[in-house]
């Protein structure tokens, strides 16, 4: 049924959903550490690691399920290393996040050379029907995240890590255990989002995350750190980028401006949200 709906959908709307899907996964995952006061700037590297892992496993096994599971596991392992370095070794959280991004970009190319004898594009063939499955799964996970964050003791304690960590400590609860869990959750989501990038394209391209992890961070705050807001913000950016892609070659406008259009829309939206939030707080 979902495949039929997408096949009958205008190409522009399919493009919007394809752009939105990895952003939605990454932003939903990044929401958990953001609420816990440990903003995860490693989303970019986690997406890329998930993309390469998924395509590699699919190439050798032919199983989409195994590819997605591998992508989630690899990104969670990187998140665990990120958390261990930051919380146990007392390294700066932002520096370790940047290290994950740089490590992932370089290590994927090294492994690509090792497994496929190329440092360039690795192809694995097209897989039909992926978009509908990922969109459905992404929305289900977003709904589950909304329930966990807003309706469960885990969600209450997670948010308390940022707002009143002293209260958690007084109750004998270690805030870092929840912050670590939040980073692992973000790795899980980014792994799935990264798997969509490569499996939907049927290829792995070095650097194919192309800033989507950084955009996901913007989406988190544009959506005022709420699941429903993240969905709306991801749609806004996806519409803007799809429009930008369509506008190239049709209008007599400098290409640089057209390519910058999604970011301009995001900046304007951020300003509007900031103004509205300022008025609410007064």
Closest alpha carbon to 42 in 8, 12, 86: 86
CB 233 within 8 A of CB 251: no
Model confidence pLDDT, tens digit, residues 31-44? 999 999 999 999 99
Cα 257 from Cα 278, distance rounded (Å): 30
Does residue 2 register a pLDDT over 60? no
Model confidence pLDDT, tens digit, residues 74-128? 999 999 999 999 999 999 999 999 999 999 999 999 999 999 988 889 988 778 7
Q: Is 39 left (phi over 0), alpha (psi -120 to 50) or beta?
A: beta
Mean pLDDT of 1-11: 65
**3-state SS track over 12-48:** HHHHHHHHHHHHHHHHHHHHHHHHCCCCCCCHHHHHH
Cα 144 from Cα 140, distance rounded (Å): 6
Residue 111's DSSP bridge partners are: none
Rg (CA), the chain: 19
- The pLDDT value given to residue 282: 60
- The pLDDT value given to residue 272: 75
Alpha helices in the chain (DSSP H): 2-7, 11-35, 43-61, 64-83, 93-116, 130-151, 153-163, 165-170, 175-201, 212-222, 227-247, 255-281
CA 86 vs CA 31, 40, 183, 190, 224: distances in Å: 18, 11, 11, 19, 26
Cα 239 from Cα 43, distance rounded (Å): 22
Query: Helix (H, G, I), strand (E, B), or coil: what is residue 260?
Result: helix
Model confidence pLDDT, tens digit, residues 231-271? 999 998 898 888 877 776 566 666 666 667 677 777 777 67
Does residue 172 register a pLDDT over 90? no
Give the best-scoring range by mean pLDDT among 180-194, 212-226, 263-277: 180-194
Does residue 61 register a pLDDT over 80? yes
Q: Tally Cβ neighbours within 10 Å of residue 259.
A: 14
Does residue 1 register a pLDDT over 60? no
Based on DSSP, count helices (H) and strands (E) in the chain, helices before strands: 12, 2
- The pLDDT value given to residue 4: 57
Cα 4 from Cα 129, distance rounded (Å): 10
Cα 45 from Cα 63, distance rounded (Å): 24
């Amino acid at each position: 049924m979902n495949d039929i709906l997408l096949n009958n959908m205008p190409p522009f709307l399919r493009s919007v959903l394809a752009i939105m899907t990895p952003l939605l996964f990454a932003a939903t995952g990044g929401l958990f550490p953001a609420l816990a006061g440990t903003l995860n700037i490693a989303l970019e590297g986690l997406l890329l690691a998930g993309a390469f892992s998924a395509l590699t496993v699919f190439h050798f096994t032919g199983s989409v399920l195994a590819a997605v599971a591998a992508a989630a596991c690899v990104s969670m392992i990187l998140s665990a290393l990120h958390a261990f370095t930051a919380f146990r070794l007392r390294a700066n959280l932002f520096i370790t996040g940047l290290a994950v991004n740089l490590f992932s970009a370089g290590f994927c190319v090294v492994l690509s050379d090792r497994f496929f004898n190329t440092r360039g594009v690795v192809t694995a063939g097209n897989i039909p029907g992926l978009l509908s499955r990922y969109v459905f799964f992404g929305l289900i996970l977003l709904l589950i995240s909304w329930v966990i964050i807003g309706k469960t003791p885990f969600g209450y304690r997670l948010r308390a890590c940022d707002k009143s960590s002293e209260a958690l400590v007084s109750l004998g609860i270690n805030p870092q255990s929840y912050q670590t869990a939040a980073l692992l959750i973000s790795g899980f989501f980014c792994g799935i989002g990264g798997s969509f990038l490569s499996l939907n394209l049927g290829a792995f391209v070095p650097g194919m995350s192309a800033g989507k992890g950084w955009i996901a961070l913007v989406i988190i705050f544009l959506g005022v750190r709420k699941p429903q807001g993240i969905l709306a913000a991801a749609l806004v950016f996806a519409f803007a980028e799809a429009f930008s892609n369509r506008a190239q070659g049709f209008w007599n406008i400098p290409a640089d401006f057209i390519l910058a259009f999604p970011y301009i829309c995001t900046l304007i939206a951020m300003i509007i949200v900031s103004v509205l939030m300022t008025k609410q707080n007064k």
